[in-house]
Amino acid sequence: MKLIVVLSVAIAMTLLACSKDSTSTGPGPALRDNDYLALGWQHFEAQRYDSAVTNFTSAYNLALTQAVRGEALNGRGWSSMYKRDLSRAKGDFSIAAGVTGIPTNVLNDVRVGNAFTLYSMNVFVDAASNAHAALTDNPSYTFSHDAKVTVKRVRLLLLQSYFANGQFAQAAAQLDLLDPARAPHSSEPPILLERIAAALNSL
């Protein structure tokens, strides 16, 4: 059981990078919602998560469209998750998922971000639901703002969520997709756990 717990957090923890923020930035008052949105992603990609949160919050507060409002919540959710502020990330992702008019690609980013967040909080059923929805909508999903978040990593998250929830047949089916050369994979927990560990080590 201890090994399962260790594995259940491994994939999410590799994403929770350290922030490089050392100073806060204050964009001028003439900036618009889309300007703050662009700054938020710029700072996010530079691992300056505190200032990214600030800019995404400004984008949300000034948002003139639902699309900007949804993406601002999405960006702030990812930034908060990487800052290990999981409760705030979960809240932002949950609200963003309900925004009417949010673009499909942004909605999938929300689902994946929420899946990693919920997984880190041991909410495996909902983590699996979000990851499955994103991969069903876009089987080749990648997160454009972080090259580490590939379809393989998301599918591994889905696999581990199924395993942690005791859904071993579903976990084995995901492993078949990840490693078709060895399919079909056993759904026996000890064997499956060994293959999950090997898949994690291949990242």
- Report whether 193 contacts 7 (CB < 8 A): yes
Quote the pLDDT of residue 23.
45
pLDDT value of position 203: 76
184 secondary structure, DSSP code: S
Overall fold of domain 28-102: 1.25.40
DSSP state of 121: T
The candidate with the shortest Cα–Cα distance to 178, out of 165, 167, 94, 201, is 201
Strands (E), the chain: none
Would the CATH topology of 28-102 be identical to that of 103-203?
A: yes
State whether the Cα torsion 136-82-15-120 is positive or negative: negative
Q: Which CATH class is domain 103-203?
A: mainly alpha
Domain ranges in the chain are: 28-102, 103-203
3-state helix, strand, coil in the chain (%, to 5): 70, 0, 30
Q: What is the pLDDT along the chain (203 residues), one digit of tens a residue?
A: 444 444 455 455 556 544 455 444 555 567 999 999 999 999 999 999 999 999 999 999 999 999 999 999 999 999 999 999 999 999 999 999 999 989 999 999 999 999 999 999 999 999 999 999 999 999 999 999 999 999 999 999 999 999 999 999 999 999 999 999 999 999 999 999 999 999 888 87
Distance CA 46, CA 8 (A): 27
Q: What is the pLDDT of residue 195?
A: 92
